[in-house]
A and B are shown apart, each in its own frame.
Chain A
Amino acid sequence: MAVVFQVASSLRRGTILMVVLAVLTAIYGQPRALAERARLEATARGEASSITDQDRAFWSFQQPIRPPTPRVRHGHQVRTPIDAFILRRLEQNGLALNPDADRGTLIRRLYYDMLGLPPDPNEVAAFVADPDPQSYEKLVDRVLASPHYGERWGRYWLDVVGFAESSLFIGDKPRPDFWRYRDYVIGSLNADKPYDQFVREQLAGDEMFDWRAVDLFSPDQIDKLVATGFLRCPPDATDNQPIMQEEKMYAAQQAAMEVSMKALMGLTLNCVRCHSHKYDPLPHEDYYQLIAVFQPAYDPANWLAGIWSDANPGTVRAIPLLDRRGREKYFRQSRAWKAERSTLTKELNKELPLRWRMKYIRDHLSEIAENTVRDRVKVLVNHIELSKADAALVSQVALELGLSREKLQEAYPEYEHQQQQIRDRLTAINKEAEKLPPVAWGLFDVSTTPSPTRLLDRGNYETPAHEVPPGVLTVLDDPQNPCQFPQISPDSGTTRRRLTLANSITRRDHPLTGRVMVNRLWQHHFHTGIVATPDDFGARGSRPTHPDLLDWLTVEFIERGWRIKPIHRLILCATTYRQASLDDVDKRGADPSNRLLWHFPKRRLEAEALRDAILKVSGGLDQRLFGKSVPTEKLEDGQYGVPPDHSGRYRRSVYISTRRTWIPTLLATFDAPFMDTNCPRRSAGVIPQQALAVMNNPFILEGAERFAQRIMAEGGTTFDQRLRSAWLLAYGRKPSEEEVSLFSHFLEDGRRDTEDIDGAKSWRTICHALFSSNEFLYVD
Chain B
Amino acid sequence: MKHYLPAQSRQDFRAASVGHARALPRLLWRRTMLRESAGGLAGIAFSWLLSQQAPASIPAGQASFDLRPKAPHVVPKAQRVIYIFMGGGPSQIDLFDPKPMLAKYDGQPIPLEINQRAIGASNKLMASPFKFQQHGRSGIELSELLPHLAEVVDDIAVVRSGVTTRTDHGEALLLLHTGRPISGFPSIGCWVSYALGSDNDSLPAYIAMPDSDPEWTRHATTAGWLPALYQAAPFNVSGSPLFDLQRPAFMTAAEQRSYLDLTQALNRRHQQTRQELTELDARIQNFELAARMQVTALQQVDLSNETAATQRLYGLENDTTKKFGAQCLTARRLIESGVRFVHLIRNDWDHHGKLKKKLTKSTRETDQPVGALLKDLKQRGLLESTLVIWAGEFGRLPVVEGADGRDHNPFGFSFWLAGGGIKGGSIHGVTDDFSYTAVEDQVTMPDLHATVLHLLGLDHRNVSFPFEGRDETLTGEEPASIIRPIIA
* Residues of chain A at the chain B interface (Cβ within 8 Å): 168-172, 235, 237, 240-241, 243-244, 251, 268, 270-271, 279, 405, 532-533, 535-536, 538-542, 582-583, 585, 588, 602, 604, 634, 637-639, 661, 665, 668-669, 671, 674, 676-677, 683-693, 695-698, 701, 718-720, 736-751, 754, 757-759, 761, 765-766, 768-770, 772-775, 777-778
Contacts of A240 in B (CB 8 A): 168, 170
- With A688-B289, A757-B4 in contact, is A536–B228 under 8 Å at CB? no
Q: CB-CB < 8 A to B173: which residues of A?
A: 170
A686 and B29 in contact, given A693-B243, A718-B6, A740-B16 (Cβ under 8 angstroms): no
Query: Contact: B9 with A692, CB < 8 Å?
Result: no
**Choice from A677, A695, A744, A775 contacting B270 with Cβ under 8 Å:** A775
Q: Is the CB of A691 within 8 A of B274?
A: no
Q: Which residue of B lies closest to A406 (CB)?
A: B403
**13 A–B contact pairs at CB < 8 A?**
A240-B170, A535-B468, A536-B468, A639-B243, A676-B184, A685-B229, A689-B244, A697-B243, A718-B9, A720-B9, A742-B28, A774-B266, A774-B284
**How far is B115's CA from A244's CA once the two chains are assembled, in angstroms?**
12
A residues less than 8 Å from B225 (CB atoms):
676
Q: Please state if B290 and A691 are interface contacts (CB–CB under 8 Å).
A: yes
> Quick check: B170 and A741 within 8 Å, CB to CB?
no
- Give the contacting residue for B61; candidates A532, A604, A739, A750; CB below 8 A: A532
- Decide if B244 touches A696 in the complex (CB within 8 Å): yes
**How near does chain B come to A428, taking the closest CB pair, in angstroms?**
26
Known: A661-B214, A677-B184. A744 touches B170 (CB 8 A): no
Given contacts A244-B117, A686-B282, contact A769 B262 (CB under 8 A): yes
**A743 cross-chain contacts in B, Cβ below 8 A:** 262
Q: Do A695 and B170 touch across chains, with their CB atoms under 8 A apart?
A: no
Apart from A677-B184, A738-B269, A759-B4, list 20 A-B contacts with CB within 8 A: A168-B170, A235-B183, A237-B171, A540-B468, A582-B273, A604-B279, A637-B243, A688-B204, A688-B290, A691-B290, A692-B290, A696-B245, A738-B20, A741-B19, A749-B258, A750-B258, A754-B255, A757-B1, A773-B266, A775-B267
Chain A CB within 8 A of B40 CB: no
CA distance A754 to B228 in the complex (A): 40
Chain A residue nearest to B236 in the complex (CB):
A638
B242 at the interface (CB under 8 A from A): yes
On chain B, the residues within 8 Å of A674 by CB distance are 218, 222
A661 to chain B: which residues have CB within 8 Å? 214-215, 218
Tell me if A769 and B468 are in contact (CB < 8 A). no
Q: What is the minimal beta-carbon distance from B352 to any residue of chain A, in angstroms? A: 12
Report yes or no: B4 in contact with A691, Cβ–Cβ below 8 A: no
Neighbouring A residues of B182 by C-beta, 8 Å: 251
Report which B residues bind A (CB closer than 8 A).
Answer: 1-6, 9-10, 12-14, 16-17, 19-20, 23-24, 26, 28-30, 60-61, 63-65, 117, 119, 166-171, 173, 182-184, 204, 214-216, 218-219, 222, 224-225, 227-229, 233-234, 236, 239-240, 242-248, 255-256, 258-260, 262-263, 265-267, 269-271, 273-277, 279-280, 282-284, 286-287, 289-291, 293-294, 403, 468-470
User: Do A405 and B403 have beta carbons less than 8 Å apart?
Assistant: yes
C-alpha gap A777/B260 in the complex (Å): 16
A691-B239 Cα distance, complex, nearest whole Å: 20
Q: Give Cα distance in the complex from A241 to B229, angstroms.
A: 32
Contacts of A719 in B (CB 8 A): 4-5, 9, 13
* Residue contact B169 to A602, C-beta cutoff 8 Å: no
In the complex, the answer to whether A602 meets B277 with C-beta atoms within 8 Å is yes
A638-B213 Cα distance, complex, nearest whole Å: 12
Given the complex, which residues of A lie within 8 Å of B63, measured CB to CB?
Answer: 683-684
Closest chain B residue, CB of each to CB of A680 = B468
Assembly CA distance A532 to B60 (angstroms) = 10
Closest-by-CB residue of A relative to B108 is A399
User: Which of B23, B219, B244, B279 is within 8 Å of A692, CB to CB?
Assistant: B244
Contact A689 B243, beta carbon cutoff 8 Å: yes
Choose among B167, B269, B290 the residue that contacts A244 (Cβ–Cβ < 8 A): B167
Instruction: Identify which of A243, A540, A759 gathers the most chain B CB atoms within 10 Å of its CB.
Output: A243
- Which residues does chain B contribute within 8 Å of A740, judged by CB atoms? 13, 16
Q: How far is the CA of A474 from the CA of B75 in the complex (A)?
A: 50
Contact across chains for A769 and B266 when beta carbons are under 8 A apart: yes
Q: Which 4 A-B pairs have the closest CB atoms?
A: A540-B469, A676-B184, A170-B170, A744-B13
Contact A758 B4 (CB under 8 A): yes
CB distance from B139 to the nearest CB of A (A): 38
A486 to chain B, nearest CB (A): 33
Shortest C-beta distance, B296 to chain A (Å), equals 11
Contacts of B283 in A (CB 8 A): 686, 690-691, 774, 777
> Distance in Å from the Cβ of A221 to the closest Cβ of chain B?
34
Pick the most buried of A170, A241, A754: most chain B CB atoms within 10 A of its CB: A170
Q: Is the CB of A687 within 8 A of B228?
A: yes
Which of B2, B16, B169, B291 sits near A744, CB closer than 8 Å? B16
Q: How far is the CB of A692 from chain B (nearest CB, A)?
A: 4
- Are B24 and A738 touching (Cβ within 8 A)? yes
CA distance A382 to B283 in the complex (A): 80
